Structure 1
Amino acid sequence: MDGQRISDEDLARQIRDGNEPAFEALVHRYHRPLLGYLHRMCHDYHLSEEAAQECFTRFYLTRARYKYPKPLKPYLYAIAANCLKDYLKSAYARRVIVHDPAPGMGSGRVAAESQAPFDVCHGAGDRGDPQDEAVRRLERREVVEAIARLPYTYREALVLRFYQGLTIREISQALEVPEGTVKSRLFTAVQRLKESIGDAARPCDGPKRTRRGECK
């Protein structure tokens, strides 16, 4: 089955009706993006993989609840976000230390990785968005480290927007918060990144840049 020829929502409807190849196509389509999102949030590859598998399992077991043509992307990310929070709670209970866990999971820390084991930096959003432009001007290592230091709710919104390419509406649906709240979290997240990294987030006064994109 060529899952790329049909929409996410049509795939979900076919899965709901018992079409196994449709489920395989959905996993093929979303495994990498969801894994990237989960890893950006917890910086633990094995935990991310477990949460991703659990996400697909939960979707399949509750497939009858899907109401066509409800947008599938935010629906899946909502499941993934909940799976990760459940896994982080479990990890914390086993004394696995995590960085700034989701609300209600205590406190902890994990070192920010300079680069994920796979490329998750895609779908950076619409060109011309001032927030997108600010993030694009940052060094990759600095971005990863600064994002890891953000409070969970800000990091969550920022990763979904700039790394996973979700729209404001999709993030609102995935996190079940108003669009205004999403915009506020994104604004605050970007401002904190600028404060954390400093001049790396600011445009050059002149047109000259180094090969690495730094201002001269």
Structure 2
Amino acid sequence: MKEVVHIGRHPSAEPDLEELVGRAALGDEDAFTSVYDVVAGPVLGTVRAVLRDQAQSEEVAQEVLVEVWRTAPRFRSEVGTAMNWILTLAHRRAIDRVRSVEAAAARDHKAALLAHTPDFDQVTEQVETRLEREQVRRCLRTLTEIQRQAVTLAYYRGLTYRQVAETLALPLGTVKTRLRDGLIRLRDCLGVTV
């Protein structure tokens, strides 16, 4: 028959867990080794119950035990038992890992969605372009024939002022004036502010 060992405040030849944690808090490595031996199994069990992944559970359990070593001076026996304190650390660290993994998954999902989202809304872009073209056509109809011809040749065909003057058989100064006046009327019609 297996003997059951109770850890707690029962008088025995072995130091209890609270005393071992107290000694570990003072830097006693042998006392911490004893703490480790007593709590490693329960810590791993607590963490595994939350994470359900063996590899992550082992990693988090190890982190918890390192935290116990580092924070042993913070343990207060008047608040609770050493085992409860350690298992609370384990449970909190496991919950933190779950949240961290979920946050990372959410970030990855969002990044994947952004990678597949076009930089701009193509339909909106096409509609806006079509509306702008239509508005420009409407405004071009408000120009005089010479203004419309000069603007069309200069800005849609890319001709220089001199080439526009030659094409329309007009003096260069007249073409420049008609272009300037036509552009001012277009600007006003389109509602462009300078």
Structures share fold, TM-score greater than 0.5: no
Higher RCO (C-alpha under 8 Å, 6+ residues apart):
1
TM-score (norm: length of structure 1): 0.40
When you count helix as a share of all residues, which structure comes out higher?
2
Q: Which has the larger radius of gyration?
A: 2
